[in-house]
Structure 1
Amino acid sequence: MSAVELDARVLDDPFTVALRGPQAGLARTVGRISTFLSDVSVFYGHPRETTAQDYTDLAELGGPGNTVSLRDRRTPLPESGFTSVATFDLVQYRGDAVTPAADPELVELTVDDVPEMTSLVELTEPGPFLPRTIEMGTYLGYREPSTGRLLAMAGQRLHLPGWREISAVCTHPDARGRGLARRLVAAVAQATVDAGDAPFLHTTADNPARGLYEKMGFTLTSEVSLEILRVE
């Protein structure tokens, strides 16, 4: 798929597009606010210009004591109802110029692998990975040939029209420096292209992996804030 055929406008609000479109079956919605099922993913889709009613709906979806997220918020928070927990610089790259590459040494991971995948994520902290996150797309892993231990993985998270997000890229400390992340990203990109889509990804502004992504041909599309709020 060439860049000319792609509609990059959907990347401007990827959470809303995914939740209201290809992944609506994994979503909960109240008014103009949507979020994934609580055991699938943590992200919320919302208008940039949020109203008082939107914040009421956001609190209803999140529930008291739980956290919610706002991407690229353009209007003030209400004076009460939410407590700020953290703010990240969320960086987005498009990967339609990346060279995909299948890799026969990688294996497709299944629901039976989720406990081991979760342990690897908890050790390496690439971002949220919940019990049903694997339902969002294809996940590939590299297992140590001698022991079968899962040493690295990556997969697909958000699905937009024409695009699939590469996510959960992580490598066990024992296996770093062996090029596994590059191989996994290229292989997930291949699975994405084979399905007729183009890859994109998110990371944080301070992630050293940005250098790898840029060398692979990913190009920067946006850098916005991602706020984590606790519902009072």
Structure 2
Amino acid sequence: MESDSGESTFVAHVSSPGMTINVLDNPVWHALAGPHRHHAIGRGAARHYARDIAPFSAILHPSDQAYADLAADLPVGTEARLFRPTEEPLPAGWEDLGRFPMLQMVATRTPEGGGDAVSTLSSANAAAMLDLVALAQPGPFGRRTPLLGRYLGVWKGDRLLAMAGERLRVPGHVELSAICVHPEARGQGHAARLVRRLMRLAFENEELPFLHVRPDNRPAIDLYRHLGFEIRRELMVLWRRPR
């Protein structure tokens, strides 16, 4: 939908008796229980992505049963990486491997500027994408991560200089992720061009773009604010595994 100013303001909530839950407070769960359910592994109150797609797991709510469900299908030799609204107590029988805050930013307006010259990436570009990720270190990105959505890139000859794409998809929203630029090509506006294009595609699809960024990554936060994102809230990323 559009506001009086013509800017997209599409927001989705999940309702239950007596309360309204914003799906962005528990984005991995609402992705795997919703638009990404065909990627979901799990049962009851817990879900996982296959680890070559994304290293994330989710619980609907913190409870002994939810953590029992989480442990039942956790891929062997891995931990559960959970995006949670708060720093929740460690349940009995689980080990704390670490935790850190993550800012969640949501687009508040369509980006300024005209069409940006970027290329669509496909599975044929997987090797180039993985090579760029290894250099730029944008965060988790696996061999099959591109299955989650559209990925766009900027090329110089046969070398991929920059890319960005879509990762979590929850009702009414799409997360922008893997935003990265080759170290030798930074400062040339590649990230901004890619993010602007993905934002426009999201708004055209009546989805609200959002993303996650570390609180100490000030250059990225400043860029995203310039493009029309604002901080919505802080989430906690909890790394846990059963003992």
Match of 2:78 in 1: 66
| Aligned residue runs from structure 1 range 188-203, under 5 A | 188-203=198-213
SS at match of 1:62: coil
2:35 maps to 1:30: no
Percent identity, aligned pairs only, is: 34
Give 2:136's aligned residue: 124
- In structure 2, relative to structure 1, the CA distance for the partners of 1:35 and 1:100 (3 Å cut) is farther
C-alpha RMSD of the superposition? 1.9
Q: Relative to 1, partners in 2 of residues 1:122 and 1:157: Cα closer, same or farther, differing over 3 Å?
A: same
Specify the SS of the correspondent of 2:154: strand
Q: 1:134 to 1:63 in 2, by over 3 A?
A: closer
Structure 1 pair 116–37 and aligned structure 2 pair: CA distance change class (3 A): same
Structure 1 counterpart of 2:52: 39
Question: Measured at CA, do residues 35 and 6 of structure 1 come closer, stay the same or move farther in structure 2, by a change above 3 Å?
Answer: same
Flag as ranges the 4+ runs of structure 1 deviating above 3 A. Answer: 100-104
Map 1:146-185; keep pairs closer than 5 Å: 147-185=157-195
TM-score by length of 2: 0.86
Give structure 2 stretches of 5+ with no counterpart. 3-7, 14-21
- Partners of 2:56 and 2:81 in 1: CA distance: 6
Q: Paired residue for 2:11, among 6, 9, 16?
A: 6
User: Within 1, Cα distance between the matches of 2:210 and 2:228?
Assistant: 11
Per the normalisation by structure 1, the TM-score is 0.90
* Aligned positions, number: 228
Question: Which whole-Å CA distance do the structure 1 matches of 2:77 and 2:242 have between them?
Answer: 5
Aligned to 2:55, the other structure's residue is in SS state coil
Residues 115 and 151 of structure 1: CA distance in aligned 2, closer, same or farther (over 3 Å): same
**Which AA in structure 2 matches 1:171?**
V
Contact 1:18 1:24 survives alignment (8 Å): yes
Aligned partners of 1:103, 1:143: CA distance in 2, in Å? 17
Q: Quote the Cα distance in structure 1 between the aligned partners of 2:228 and 2:58.
A: 28
One of 230, 235, 240 as aligned partner of 1:219? 230
Residue in 1 aligned with 2:16? none
Structure 2 residue matching 1:15: 3-state secondary structure = helix
Offset at 1:161?
1.6
Residue type of the alignment partner of 2:221: R
In structure 1, stretches of 5+ residues that fail to align are: none
User: Secondary structure in 1 aligned to 2:73?
Assistant: helix
